[in-house]
Chain A
């Protein structure tokens, strides 16, 4: 049996295990282990396992993941989302669909201290959902907005997905974050626009509320300064060259802890909840890492990634079409698979192909940064697209009496802007790469 045949068998085994609810990490680990032993024998595999946990867990670049998660947990448990939404709705609430726009903007701002999409969606929903319902917003618009808004958590840096991409693609995380800023802002503007158009077409879904007084607006604005300060320190420090991403994550976590403490909402049980939340998510991510590591080690032994790269080059398809094809493949795969596992599993296979393509004459590292942003867009789409949009599930679970089909319908306007933006970023790499050149010369 040739290497490619073995690789395909491993994939088939993985998909079969996934279909019967075996955790994704193990659905990758098991065929990977069998493939490794089949290709190289037991002694090398047993030797490889000895160092696996240390190699994966004691990695300086990876320390940012639990640290950013801890920072997000402090922000979530500390109730920072409440002041953000209060400020944004004081500003926009009087517009038709204004509370929904406020939720989107608050999500974007919360995304600047939180690197996870589900956490952003869920924490904002607890604040914004009751408020929107009280102002007679339709369940469709309210849940759709929050599900989509939550994805800004991984678009606006820090972003756990981008950190993972950066580690796999061996790219500078500070550069990846810089590349995500403009697309993140475009996404925020696009979502607000989608809401504006939607409430114009279907006015009943998002009625305007009363305008608030200037004093109230001022107080609400003052309340958000800690979050702005944290964002400025963390990213000012990274791009000012004062500290590394890991240090930035450390400082961000410490500062967010302080901000949460000063708000007086971080009680002792909530403090422990921060650790527990961080533990579950970190454990989940590293389990997938371990599984993907073993699967990818086996795939590397089969030399499948190199074979695929050569095959694609010889096809003679235009390079941008190849990239578009990979993205489309991700959207389809994302329908049945968790997005994080998807990129951990597939990137080591696809990256050699991407590096081998001539894309707008970009040098390899710029190509990989640009591709990273595109992958991020696709992950984001997967989080709100049917049949399994994780964010839609989470928000729908929090909203009583809103059928899941309504929530998916509510996500459609946002999905349309997602597709438009992804196409835009695919066609014009400078949108992603320009800020990288400015911030990280």
Chain B
């Protein structure tokens, strides 16, 4: 899929950047675990609280992956009941679906942000390393917000391009 308008291009660049950040965070988790395993089995000295780092890294990477999923229309849906529908109807319904995704992710982003502020206020930390939990929230919240924006953009695109979908179906 190519994005020919500035909003789409910006979102795509942002989503790709976040996906790469998420991938690097995941790679970081993998290397950290590898190091910890080697140290534990050879010297008997693993990284204390390595699983907390893995947990934090996982939260960061999964959240960072969400915008890209939205932009690539990566959500699973059922097309069994609409097989016979026209391309125009399908595009309109897909737009509606993406709109709902955007609203829900927006709600989750908002509440996650509030949860993050709570974590700052209550000075919540992980058990062993004492890492502040809000670090995770600070990456998750904007990622989910971008995912929400990507879904809204997708909704608009489906809606705007439903005429194109129709003419493509005819040709």
Contacts and interface: CB of A to CB of B under 8 A. Distances in A.
Given A20-B93, A58-B59, A247-B37, A49 B77 contact: no
A439 B149 CA distance: 48
Interface residues of A, number: 61
A257 to B, nearest CB: 8
A335 B75 CA distance: 18
B100 interface: yes
Interface in A255-294: 272, 274-276, 278-284, 286-288, 290
Interface stretch (A145-153, A306-314, A337-345, A425-433): A337-345
Contacts of B137: 54
Contacts of B93: 20-22
A29 B19 CA distance: 24
B76 to A, nearest CB: 4
Contacts of B29: 63, 67, 250
A251 interface: yes
A286 B57 CA distance: 15
A66 B27 CA distance: 10
B54 A63 contact: yes
B8 interface: no
B23 interface: yes
A18 B68 CA distance: 22
The 4 closest A-B CB pairs, nearest first, are A283-B69, A275-B23, A50-B115, A23-B75
Interface in A10-35: 18-26, 29-30, 33
B34 A59 contact: no
B34 A53 contact: no
B9 to A, nearest CB: 17
Nearest to B31: A254
Given A50-B115, A70-B23, A276-B16, 11 more contacts: A22-B77, A54-B115, A58-B136, A242-B41, A243-B41, A254-B31, A279-B22, A283-B69, A288-B76, A336-B81, A387-B80
B65 interface: yes
Contacts of A272: 20
A21 B82 contact: yes
Contact of B100 (A26, A282, A286): A26
Contact-residue bracket for chain B: 35 or more
A282 B101 CA distance: 16
Interface in A231-249: 237, 242-243, 246-247, 249
A67 B30 CA distance: 7
Contacts of B97: 20-23, 26
Nearest to B97: A22
Interface of A: 18-26, 29-30, 33, 46, 49-54, 57-60, 62-63, 66-67, 70, 237, 242-243, 246-247, 249-251, 253-254, 272, 274-276, 278-284, 286-288, 290, 335-338, 340-341, 387-388
Nearest to B20: A275
B161 interface: no
B107 interface: yes
A286 B118 CA distance: 24
Nearest to A252: B30
B43 interface: no
B128 interface: no
Interface string B64-90: 111011101011111111100000001
A49 B107 contact: yes
Interface string B10-31: 0000001001101110110111
Contacts of A54: 59, 112, 115, 133, 136-137, 140
A282 B65 CA distance: 7
Contact of B30 (A58, A250, A282, A387): A250
Given A276-B19, A278-B26, A290 B77 contact: no
Given A23-B101, A26-B97, A250-B33, A278 B76 contact: no
